[in-house]
A = this chain, B = another copy of it.
Amino acid sequence: MPKQTFLNLPETKRKAFLDAAIEEFAGRDYASASISHIVAQLGIAKGSVYQYFEDKRDLYLYLIDLASRERIMFVQSAGPPDSQKGFFIYTQWLLEMGARFGFEHPRLNQIIYRAMFGDAPFRDDMLRQMKESSLGLIRQIIMQGIAAGEINPDLDLDMTAYLLNLITNEFGNYLVSKLAIDPQRLIEGDYAQLDIEATRGIFTKAAEFMWHGLAKRSSSIVETPSSVRN
Protein backbone atom coordinates (compact mmCIF):
# COMPACT_ATOMS: atom_id res chain seq x y z
CA MET A 1 0.00 0.00 0.00
CA PRO A 2 2.84 2.46 0.32
CA LYS A 3 3.83 3.84 -3.07
CA GLN A 4 7.08 2.79 -4.67
CA THR A 5 8.53 6.18 -3.78
CA PHE A 6 8.33 5.29 -0.14
CA LEU A 7 10.00 1.97 -0.60
CA ASN A 8 12.83 3.61 -2.53
CA LEU A 9 13.52 6.01 0.28
CA PRO A 10 16.88 5.72 2.03
CA GLU A 11 16.51 3.63 5.13
CA THR A 12 17.11 6.41 7.62
CA LYS A 13 14.48 8.62 6.07
CA ARG A 14 11.97 5.80 5.86
CA LYS A 15 12.58 4.82 9.45
CA ALA A 16 12.26 8.39 10.63
CA PHE A 17 9.00 8.79 8.78
CA LEU A 18 7.56 5.57 10.14
CA ASP A 19 8.66 6.49 13.60
CA ALA A 20 6.87 9.79 13.53
CA ALA A 21 3.78 8.27 11.93
CA ILE A 22 3.64 5.49 14.51
CA GLU A 23 4.04 8.01 17.27
CA GLU A 24 1.16 10.03 15.90
CA PHE A 25 -1.27 7.19 15.31
CA ALA A 26 -0.43 5.53 18.60
CA GLY A 27 -1.08 8.68 20.53
CA ARG A 28 -4.35 9.78 19.03
CA ASP A 29 -7.36 8.07 17.52
CA TYR A 30 -7.73 8.07 13.77
CA ALA A 31 -9.84 11.17 13.58
CA SER A 32 -7.46 13.21 15.69
CA ALA A 33 -4.22 11.90 14.28
CA SER A 34 -2.95 14.43 11.82
CA ILE A 35 -0.73 14.33 8.80
CA SER A 36 0.09 17.94 9.53
CA HIS A 37 1.48 16.97 12.91
CA ILE A 38 3.66 14.32 11.38
CA VAL A 39 5.20 16.58 8.79
CA ALA A 40 5.68 19.36 11.33
CA GLN A 41 7.44 16.90 13.60
CA LEU A 42 9.71 15.74 10.80
CA GLY A 43 10.22 19.11 9.23
CA ILE A 44 9.25 17.85 5.80
CA ALA A 45 6.68 19.07 3.35
CA LYS A 46 3.13 17.80 3.49
CA GLY A 47 3.22 16.90 -0.16
CA SER A 48 5.90 14.33 0.58
CA VAL A 49 3.46 12.22 2.53
CA TYR A 50 1.29 12.03 -0.53
CA GLN A 51 4.26 10.89 -2.55
CA TYR A 52 4.58 8.01 -0.11
CA PHE A 53 0.99 7.03 0.50
CA GLU A 54 -2.33 7.44 -1.23
CA ASP A 55 -3.93 9.19 1.67
CA LYS A 56 -4.28 9.18 5.44
CA ARG A 57 -6.26 5.99 5.43
CA ASP A 58 -3.67 4.23 3.33
CA LEU A 59 -0.94 5.22 5.75
CA TYR A 60 -3.03 4.11 8.70
CA LEU A 61 -3.81 0.72 7.24
CA TYR A 62 -0.14 0.23 6.48
CA LEU A 63 0.76 0.98 10.07
CA ILE A 64 -1.78 -1.52 11.32
CA ASP A 65 -0.41 -4.10 8.99
CA LEU A 66 3.13 -3.34 10.08
CA ALA A 67 2.25 -3.51 13.76
CA SER A 68 0.45 -6.82 13.33
CA ARG A 69 3.35 -8.37 11.47
CA GLU A 70 5.73 -7.07 14.07
CA ARG A 71 3.66 -8.60 16.82
CA ILE A 72 3.38 -11.95 15.13
CA MET A 73 7.13 -11.99 14.61
CA PHE A 74 7.69 -11.04 18.20
CA VAL A 75 5.55 -13.84 19.52
CA GLN A 76 6.90 -16.41 17.10
CA SER A 77 10.51 -15.51 17.71
CA ALA A 78 10.10 -16.35 21.37
CA GLY A 79 9.25 -19.98 20.86
CA PRO A 80 6.15 -21.29 22.60
CA PRO A 81 6.70 -23.60 25.54
CA ASP A 82 6.85 -27.31 25.05
CA SER A 83 3.31 -28.45 24.33
CA GLN A 84 3.95 -31.30 26.74
CA LYS A 85 3.66 -28.82 29.55
CA GLY A 86 0.00 -28.42 28.94
CA PHE A 87 -2.32 -25.62 28.20
CA PHE A 88 -2.10 -23.89 31.49
CA ILE A 89 1.51 -23.08 30.78
CA TYR A 90 0.59 -22.19 27.26
CA THR A 91 -2.04 -19.73 28.44
CA GLN A 92 0.41 -18.16 30.80
CA TRP A 93 2.95 -17.85 28.03
CA LEU A 94 0.38 -16.25 25.74
CA LEU A 95 -0.46 -13.67 28.36
CA GLU A 96 3.15 -12.97 29.05
CA MET A 97 3.99 -12.53 25.40
CA GLY A 98 1.09 -10.15 24.95
CA ALA A 99 2.19 -8.06 27.88
CA ARG A 100 5.83 -8.20 26.93
CA PHE A 101 5.10 -7.01 23.44
CA GLY A 102 3.12 -4.20 24.99
CA PHE A 103 6.11 -3.20 27.06
CA GLU A 104 8.70 -3.47 24.37
CA HIS A 105 6.60 -1.96 21.60
CA PRO A 106 4.08 0.19 23.38
CA ARG A 107 3.30 2.30 20.38
CA LEU A 108 2.76 -0.60 18.01
CA ASN A 109 0.71 -2.27 20.67
CA GLN A 110 -1.41 0.82 21.02
CA ILE A 111 -2.00 0.95 17.29
CA ILE A 112 -3.21 -2.63 17.29
CA TYR A 113 -5.38 -1.98 20.29
CA ARG A 114 -6.95 1.05 18.67
CA ALA A 115 -7.58 -0.93 15.52
CA MET A 116 -9.35 -3.65 17.44
CA PHE A 117 -11.37 -1.71 19.94
CA GLY A 118 -11.35 1.88 18.78
CA ASP A 119 -13.31 3.17 15.89
CA ALA A 120 -11.55 4.05 12.76
CA PRO A 121 -13.97 4.35 9.86
CA PHE A 122 -12.82 1.05 8.41
CA ARG A 123 -14.31 -1.50 10.72
CA ASP A 124 -15.39 -3.52 7.74
CA ASP A 125 -12.18 -3.54 5.77
CA MET A 126 -9.15 -5.47 6.85
CA LEU A 127 -9.90 -4.58 10.43
CA ARG A 128 -12.50 -7.21 11.09
CA GLN A 129 -10.29 -9.54 9.16
CA MET A 130 -7.47 -8.97 11.61
CA LYS A 131 -9.80 -9.48 14.53
CA GLU A 132 -11.03 -12.65 12.95
CA SER A 133 -7.58 -14.00 12.33
CA SER A 134 -6.59 -13.33 15.89
CA LEU A 135 -9.77 -14.96 17.14
CA GLY A 136 -9.24 -17.84 14.77
CA LEU A 137 -5.86 -18.61 16.25
CA ILE A 138 -7.18 -18.61 19.77
CA ARG A 139 -10.15 -20.72 18.77
CA GLN A 140 -7.74 -23.24 17.32
CA ILE A 141 -5.74 -23.36 20.51
CA ILE A 142 -8.86 -23.92 22.54
CA MET A 143 -9.93 -26.74 20.28
CA GLN A 144 -6.57 -28.39 20.70
CA GLY A 145 -6.94 -27.99 24.42
CA ILE A 146 -10.30 -29.66 24.33
CA ALA A 147 -8.95 -32.46 22.18
CA ALA A 148 -6.11 -32.90 24.66
CA GLY A 149 -8.72 -33.26 27.36
CA GLU A 150 -7.48 -30.27 29.28
CA ILE A 151 -10.17 -27.75 28.49
CA ASN A 152 -13.77 -28.00 29.56
CA PRO A 153 -15.61 -29.09 26.41
CA ASP A 154 -18.85 -27.56 27.64
CA LEU A 155 -17.56 -24.05 27.09
CA ASP A 156 -18.92 -22.14 24.15
CA LEU A 157 -16.05 -22.04 21.71
CA ASP A 158 -16.78 -18.66 20.17
CA MET A 159 -17.44 -16.99 23.45
CA THR A 160 -14.39 -18.39 25.13
CA ALA A 161 -12.19 -17.34 22.23
CA TYR A 162 -13.66 -13.88 22.37
CA LEU A 163 -13.02 -13.52 26.08
CA LEU A 164 -9.50 -14.88 25.86
CA ASN A 165 -8.68 -12.54 23.03
CA LEU A 166 -10.07 -9.69 25.04
CA ILE A 167 -8.04 -10.56 28.08
CA THR A 168 -4.76 -11.12 26.29
CA ASN A 169 -5.17 -7.80 24.52
CA GLU A 170 -6.12 -5.80 27.56
CA PHE A 171 -3.84 -7.37 30.06
CA GLY A 172 -0.91 -5.12 29.31
CA ASN A 173 -3.01 -2.10 30.18
CA TYR A 174 -3.80 -3.60 33.52
CA LEU A 175 -0.15 -4.19 34.22
CA VAL A 176 0.69 -0.63 33.31
CA SER A 177 -1.79 0.76 35.78
CA LYS A 178 -1.09 -1.87 38.40
CA LEU A 179 2.64 -1.35 38.37
CA ALA A 180 2.21 2.39 38.12
CA ILE A 181 4.29 2.43 34.99
CA ASP A 182 4.53 5.73 33.25
CA PRO A 183 3.34 5.06 29.71
CA GLN A 184 5.34 8.00 28.46
CA ARG A 185 8.57 6.52 29.75
CA LEU A 186 7.60 3.20 28.24
CA ILE A 187 7.18 4.85 24.89
CA GLU A 188 10.53 6.50 25.25
CA GLY A 189 12.04 3.06 25.58
CA ASP A 190 12.82 3.56 29.22
CA TYR A 191 11.53 0.25 30.45
CA ALA A 192 14.48 -0.49 32.65
CA GLN A 193 11.93 0.14 35.36
CA LEU A 194 10.29 -3.11 34.40
CA ASP A 195 11.36 -6.36 35.88
CA ILE A 196 9.76 -9.09 33.86
CA GLU A 197 10.82 -11.72 36.35
CA ALA A 198 9.21 -9.85 39.19
CA THR A 199 5.95 -9.55 37.30
CA ARG A 200 5.80 -13.19 36.37
CA GLY A 201 3.74 -13.84 39.47
CA ILE A 202 1.03 -11.66 37.99
CA PHE A 203 0.95 -13.70 34.82
CA THR A 204 0.59 -16.80 36.86
CA LYS A 205 -2.31 -15.31 38.75
CA ALA A 206 -3.96 -14.23 35.53
CA ALA A 207 -3.48 -17.62 33.97
CA GLU A 208 -4.84 -19.07 37.17
CA PHE A 209 -7.99 -17.01 36.77
CA MET A 210 -8.39 -17.91 33.14
CA TRP A 211 -7.80 -21.50 33.98
CA HIS A 212 -9.78 -22.10 37.12
CA GLY A 213 -12.02 -19.06 37.31
CA LEU A 214 -13.29 -17.49 40.44
CA ALA A 215 -14.45 -20.53 42.25
CA LYS A 216 -12.71 -21.71 45.34
CA ARG A 217 -11.22 -25.08 44.74
CA SER A 218 -11.20 -27.70 47.38
CA SER A 219 -7.50 -27.83 48.11
CA SER A 220 -7.06 -31.53 47.51
CA ILE A 221 -8.06 -31.55 43.89
CA VAL A 222 -5.60 -29.86 41.66
CA GLU A 223 -5.64 -30.97 38.09
CA THR A 224 -3.22 -28.43 36.80
CA PRO A 225 -0.17 -27.15 38.59
CA SER A 226 -0.50 -23.57 39.71
CA SER A 227 2.86 -23.41 41.37
CA VAL A 228 4.83 -23.84 38.21
CA ARG A 229 7.68 -21.50 37.57
CA ASN A 230 8.49 -21.17 33.91
The residue on B at minimum CB distance from A171 is: B163
Across the interface, do A210 and B213 meet the contact criterion of CB distance under 8 Å?
A: yes
Which bracket fits the contact residues of A? 35 or more
**Which B residues are in CB contact (< 8 Å) with A145?**
214
In the bound assembly, the distance between CA atoms of A142 and B216 in angstroms comes to 12
**Which B residues are in CB contact (< 8 Å) with A174?**
159, 162-163
- Residues of A186-225 whose CB lies within 8 A of B: 202, 205-206, 208-218, 221, 223-224
- Residues of A158-186 whose CB lies within 8 A of B: 158-160, 162-163, 166-167, 170, 174, 178
Contact with B along A146-158 (1 / 0, CB 8 A): 0001111111101
> Can you spell out 7 A-B residue pairs with CB atoms less than 8 angstroms apart?
A118-B119, A152-B212, A152-B213, A155-B214, A167-B167, A212-B215, A218-B223
**Which B residues are in CB contact (< 8 Å) with A206?**
156, 159, 163
Contact with B along A26-53 (1 / 0, CB 8 A): 0011011000000000000000000000
A87 beta carbon closer than 8 Å to chain B = yes
Taken together, the copies of this chain in the complex come to 2
A117 beta carbon closer than 8 Å to chain B = yes
In the bound assembly, the distance between CA atoms of A174 and B170 in angstroms comes to 15
**Which B residues are in CB contact (< 8 Å) with A158?**
178
Identify which of B31, B210, B216 contacts A214 (C-beta below 8 A): B210
Please list the 3 inter-chain residue pairs (A to B) with the smallest Cβ-Cβ separation, ordered nearest first. Answer: A213-B213, A212-B213, A31-B32
- Residues of A38-97 whose CB lies within 8 A of B: 87-88, 91
Across the interface, do A150 and B213 meet the contact criterion of CB distance under 8 Å?
A: no
Across the interface, do B150 and A209 meet the contact criterion of CB distance under 8 Å?
A: no
Q: A29-B119, A151-B214, A166-B170 are in contact. List 16 more A-B contacts (CB 8 A).
A: A31-B31, A31-B32, A118-B118, A118-B119, A145-B214, A152-B212, A152-B213, A152-B215, A154-B226, A156-B206, A159-B202, A159-B206, A163-B174, A166-B167, A212-B215, A216-B223
**Which B residues are in CB contact (< 8 Å) with A29?**
29, 31, 118-119
Across the interface, do A178 and B153 meet the contact criterion of CB distance under 8 Å?
A: no
In the bound assembly, the distance between CA atoms of A151 and B217 in angstroms comes to 8
**Which B residues are in CB contact (< 8 Å) with A218?**
221, 223
The residue on B at minimum CB distance from A161 is: B174
